[in-house]
A and B are shown apart, each in its own frame.
Chain A
Amino acid sequence: MQAEQVEIAQFLAQHPPFDDLPTNALNELAQQVEVAYYRSQTDILTLGQDIADLFIIRSGSVEIYRRNSELYNRLDVGGIFGQMGLLMNRKVRFPAKALEDTLVYCINFELFNRYCDEFDGFADYFEADGNVRLRQALVEQADSNDLTTAKVKSLIHRDVVTVNTQTTVQDVAKMMTEEAVSSVLVTDLDKPISDDPEEDDGQIVGIITDRDIRTKVVAQGLGLDVTANQIMSTNLVLLDSNSYVFEAVLAMLRDNLHHLPVVQKRRPIGVISLSDILRYESQSSLLLVRGILAQQTIEDLAHYARQLPNVFVRMVNEDANSHMVGTAMAVIGRTFKQRLLVLAEEKFGPPPVPYCFIALGSMARDEQLIVTDQDNALILDDSYDDDKHNDYFQNISDFVCDGLAQCGYTYCTGEIMASFKKWRKTRSQWFDQFSDWIAQPKPQALLNSSIFFDLDGVWGKTKWADELKVFIAKQSKQNRVFLANMAANARNRTPPLGFFKGFVLEHNGQHKRSMNLKRRGTAPLSDVIRVHALAMGSRKQNSFERLEDIIDARLLPEGKAQDLRDSLEYIAMMRIRHQAWQIEQGEEPDNDIDPHLLSPFEQRNLKEAFAILEKAQSFLKFSYSANVGVK
């Protein structure tokens, strides 16, 4: 006769699923358990380790984590864990940690299986539970690239390179070349990391980047024997290795830093750069992009495109800024076009003459959001023969435009699509068209300028699109009349602010009073920024990048360009969040926002952002008036 574990049996009898077991089964179970004790804050199960038991908490409490170390659940007396690992591949899927001193009863896998076989109720409990959790686990896995939950540690791919304060710049440069790094950390031997005296190189006191060597040594004509401490940057923001990636992003944005040293207990373990983050950030959208390229039919593509809103929402929830969202959405849109063109060429055969498919407007500017229509066109080789080749290009254009429509990119109401013959021109015709627009700017013709003057090659001879960009930049820069007309155009759409700076609302289709953040906000801002960019011959297309050029060239009075950047970012983010919120509510996303739903704080900021647009528009009037001669 085996010894009766009365206490254990009585405990189990009070907790599901054990409470349904017959008495003798319960007693047998009580005799078979193993008991383990975990002091508060110690690990019970770590991710990926082998697991051989089901755990029942007898006393204390336990925290269960997701694989990305986010808290998943908190269990106390009677709580059961470990079943996911047992049901899957007997590896721990949800790490567990004792939150308090915890006593657990462990039931081994063989016994667990036998009880599942013998007692239906027992099995049902775990299977029902298991399915739910399994689904969550799979969703989790797909989400494991979150900016908000990934640690910066995961971005460090190489050992840290350090020099000390007395290393000469020549040695620093040599080392950077040998190690192929763009930055080194400077440590001070006189400042030891006190709690770790072995191999102590000292604390980090500075960083030297390629740029420091260029600007502080070479440009200043300093000697090669200058020491590291004389040229290093000391405005360091150190990240703890347990920081999240988004904290790194915030630190970089806040302090305009491109390199962040990562430390573990003050010991340097790596440096992460802006490019590491960008590479990481685009992973989730890259995943979607890879998926797009794998689809074999328009139907598959259209089906696949339904994921787009989720990717969008996730980026927003990950605190991506408008540039990140806009770029990711543009890359995705571009990929849809490319895939459709591949499928079109498979269907209709190879093109009879070379061509280039171009994207226009927000996609070309990398400012695409979720609500967008398609603006596109074709550049054809000069050998194009209308009689012979028109059918082919009509076919592939229809194929692509119809396909895009099925994927959620609605037809352009302004008929700016490759499927309209007027927007399929040869290279020469396009040059002529742009020269004509620039030389003889008619207001009507320029209504579309905000679309055509942002263009990007997507497929085929994309360098033709680049040639056009160069041409546009050169021509428009010299042409004041053109710029004046563009400027007048950019003042057409005014921000929704009344005389006393109250919001001016419009009725939209559903009789709601709202304002359109795109038409009244981001679009006119892009227009204003484009005029300045064209005026200085910038070939950039993205509004934020254009603003950088504008700032570098000191084209605008001190602070104006920065104000424009902030204004654009604020309104764009409000648009983005509004759309993400609508998607999450199951609504059709749009650009119309009711300001009464905003907090007083948001209302004030939004008014401020619109006020900047308003000022920028009147500034255009002075700067690019056709009547004012060149200063």
Chain B
Amino acid sequence: MEKQSTFDWQSHYKALAHDAKNEHLKAFYTQAYGNTNTPIKAVEFVALDFETTGLNSEVDDIVSVGLVPFSMQRVYCKHAKHWVVQPRKSLSEESIVIHGITHSEVDDAPDLTSKLAPLLNALSGKVVVVHYAAIERHFLNNALLARINEGIQFALVDTMELEQRALRARQGLIGRLFNQKVGSLRLTDCRARYSLPAYHNHNALTDALATAELLIAQMQYHYREDTPLFELLS
């Protein structure tokens, strides 16, 4: 697989900004952080998490958004954001069990469209960090397509993928040949490897915080603080 270092996010964002119709999206691309050679200690990140009605981004929709900005030094809870939004698909009982957001809460919530501006604003200029890239990337893309007829692309750091890399490195060639299990990649299990506490509440905000903490811990274990950003991108 080709290394991310060859992908030029800076030019890509410029092109996307040029093509974007929606003003918020245009603004997001214009300010998007694309210099992938920056050492990670100097990068501003934002951990992002969605709760959704289900796992299929083609049919399911976003129920809540949690995000918290952070750097390698600190997680800034003060600037954290959390929104409950009305999905364009009814809530399944299973998803309520997972994220605890109920029908009545959702019924009072606004549509994501109204939160688009603050959401994109909170992400702009920062590198988005998620645990399992497919979810956030596809759900946000599809949610935007459905609402403003435009999708969204952005550079991502995926703590799940970083964990998989680290576990594979530890597993070694022999382990790989014999197809040994690398270990669970669930957020809670990944965190336990770095002695991070188990968080009991599962909402988008807590998971965003948990993801941010996980990335900081992973960096301290497996990377140097001057590692360039591109080595982390998915």
Which residues of chain A have a CB within 8 Å of any CB of chain B?
2-8, 10, 30-40, 42, 58-60, 100-103, 106
Contacts and interface: CB of A to CB of B under 8 A. Distances in A.
Which of A6, A32, A38, A58 gathers the greatest number of chain B CB atoms within 10 Å? A6
Contact of A4 (B82, B213, B217): B82
Contact of B217 (A34, A100, A101, A106): A101
B203 A6 contact: yes
B3 interface: no
Given A5-B80, A37-B220, A103-B196, 6 more contacts: A3-B68, A3-B77, A35-B70, A36-B74, A40-B195, A59-B197
Interface stretch (B126-134, B142-150, B163-171, B204-212): B204-212
B77 A39 contact: no
A35 B82 contact: no
Given A4-B82, A4-B205, A7-B209, A32 B77 contact: yes
Q: List 9 A-B pairs, minimum CB-CB distance, nearest first.
A: A101-B195, A3-B82, A35-B75, A59-B197, A3-B80, A34-B74, A39-B220, A37-B216, A7-B199
Q: How many B residues are at the interface, by size bracket?
A: 20 to 34
Nearest to B199: A7
B217 A37 contact: yes
B14 interface: no
Given A37-B217, A103-B197, A7 B77 contact: no
B196 A59 contact: yes
A204 B197 CA distance: 49
Which of A30, A37, A60 gathers the greatest number of chain B CB atoms within 10 Å? A37
Interface string B221-234: 10000000000000
Contact of A39 (B73, B81, B82, B221): B221
Nearest to B80: A3
A34 B77 contact: yes
B77 A100 contact: no
A480 B67 CA distance: 99
B200 A36 contact: no
A30 B217 contact: no
B201 interface: yes
A102 B66 CA distance: 24
A59 B194 CA distance: 10
A35 B195 contact: no
B74 A106 contact: yes
A35 B201 contact: no
9 contacts: A3-B82, A7-B200, A31-B77, A34-B75, A40-B195, A59-B196, A101-B196, A103-B195, A103-B213
A7 B196 CA distance: 13
B78 interface: yes
A8 B216 CA distance: 18
B81 A3 contact: yes
B76 interface: yes
Which of A32, A33, A35, A38 gathers the greatest number of chain B CB atoms within 10 Å? A35
Given A3-B80, A4-B205, A5-B77, A35 B197 contact: no
B192 to A, nearest CB: 10
A619 B206 CA distance: 87
Interface string B99-127: 00000000000000000000000000000
A108 to B, nearest CB: 9
A3 B81 CA distance: 5
Contacts of A37: 194, 196, 213, 216-217, 220
A35 B74 contact: yes
A39 B217 CA distance: 7
B217 A5 contact: no
A3 B67 CA distance: 9
Contacts of A31: 77-78, 80
Nearest to A102: B195
Nearest to B78: A32
Nearest to B73: A36
Interface string B74-102: 11111011100000000000000000000
Contacts of B209: 5, 7, 35
Contacts of A2: 80
Contacts of B70: 35
B195 A100 contact: yes
Given A39-B221, A59-B196, A34 B206 contact: no
A83 to B, nearest CB: 19
A35 B212 contact: yes
B94 to A, nearest CB: 22
